[in-house]
A and B are shown apart, each in its own frame.
Chain A
């Protein structure tokens, strides 16, 4: 093996034991060999760092582009604001004079977003872990009927509160707000250590809004609007709108 191959093999870590011993010895005895190894290690590190920085720049750009798109969208809409404001005034008057029955439904629709899967990692292995993976896969594929069934099985096997919570989310996705409320209200969140308990308050608020149970909706939204809760700002904004109508 020539000198260059020995240096590269050493740096790539793919020398056989004999060549490795030879290279180790050369590093101690031959300054130029040792220097060449160090230089090549530095080069690999430099390339790795540049690659790392390239990806960082790329993902930062995604965020910047999103912000720019949002600013552009705002700018485009500014010229319509005057017109929209006057139309809004007319509609608002009509709205207050003749309130519509599905106002809460509209509010619900404007605030509702599908609960993402935040139960992770899912590791395949035991039968129960496979049910977890299957349930969340169905959920993420928006196959809520199947997911609901799997979460109910999972709950009967594990008694894990999250299974009941996601079963409730499936019901809400399938427009069964009453079913969702009944499931979510039946969960016992042990010691308040579950992050999902905070999400549950928000979704109970929304589900009660959907079925026009405003006092209950208000109660849950007030809990969800507390400092540090994941939907704090949305719950506060929704409460404000609700209080105007109560």
Chain B
């Protein structure tokens, strides 16, 4: 399948239906494709799930807008890099020169290591934040949207309203963080 503009917009919004469709449509072919590298089934499943996360992250970063290859090809490229990373980690690199190019580095696995305590505490605090505040911060700090776009998407009057709301949300977040630190 190729990804259409409307689907891409839904993917960026973390739409479950479109993510499920991409997941189901490519799973079987990917599992067959990856078996040639001799990884255990459980690990192959794990890689496939991680690929879906990477796809979402790449969509958010705007990497899918100018996609010149079919979506499956792109997905497989991500998966191939992940297989390579696993094999490399296990000290099991054999004749994988096809991976040794700079282009693969964009598929690097960002969350291999555990975060520091501050990040972990923030992750928990974000979960306790009200839904509107959380959505606002995600749009601003993760999707890199402007206040104006956020105002339009979240149906606020204008960018100034979003700006003051963001300040309130940050204050709330700090308060949750402090109470959990002292609790």
Contact = CB atoms under 8 A, between A and B. Distances in A.
Interface residues of A, number: 33
Contacts of A230: 32, 35
A62 B20 contact: yes
A123 B69 contact: yes
Interface in B2-39: 14, 16, 19-20, 23-24, 28-29, 32-33, 35-36
A120 B57 contact: no
A42 B122 CA distance: 8
A121 B69 contact: yes
B70 interface: yes
B73 A42 contact: no
B127 A50 contact: yes
Interface string B63-88: 00000111011101100100000000
A52 B53 contact: yes
Would you call the interface of chain A mostly helix, strand, loop, or mixed?
Answer: helix
B100 to A, nearest CB: 15
Residue with the highest number of chain A CB atoms closer than 10 Å, among B33, B60, B116: B33
Given A42-B116, A48-B142, A51-B142, 7 more contacts: A45-B122, A49-B119, A51-B60, A116-B28, A121-B74, A121-B76, A122-B69
Interface of B: 14, 16, 19-20, 23-24, 28-29, 32-33, 35-36, 45, 49-50, 52-53, 56-57, 60, 68-70, 72-74, 76-77, 80, 110-111, 115-116, 118-120, 122-123, 125-127, 137-138, 141-142, 144, 173
